[in-house]
Amino acid sequence: MEISNELLCLFSTQVSDDGDSYTIELPQREIETGAVTPGDTYRVALIEPENEPAAETAVSGEPQPPVESGEIRYVEIEDLGKQGDGIARVERGYVIIVPSTEVGERVKVEISEVKSNFAVGEAISE
């Protein structure tokens, strides 16, 4: 999928049925980081998931990680880990550790290692 260079934010959310209309909630961090400004108008693209991670379960009944080794993702670094590596969160709060990144940075990463509760990704250039 081609991602526009004009992309301001990327996140997963549910669409709420409000009777006569539908609502998509914008995460507060997008306002706090200055990616979007309340009152401004933006284009919104809805992308159906290639597969629904929440529905995928292992034989044990545990949810599977929402990423796969070799997968390319665009993420925002939200925190720094104890060793100074960037931490991004994706579906269901799943953590992706991205070395050599800073809080607030939006990076394209290639997933190099996947564990049940976290993954490691390497920042790659556009």
The per-residue pLDDT for 54 is 46
Q: What CATH architecture applies to the domain 66-124?
A: Beta Barrel (2.40)
Burial-class residue 66 by CB neighbours within 10 Å (0-12, 13-18, 19+).
buried
The per-residue pLDDT for 13 is 77
Quick one: which H or E segment has residue 29? helix 28-32
* Helix (H) and strand (E) counts in the chain: 1, 8
Q: What is the pTM of this model?
A: 0.56
The per-residue pLDDT for 59 is 56
- The segments of the chain whose pLDDT lies below 70 read 1-5, 10, 33, 49-62, 126
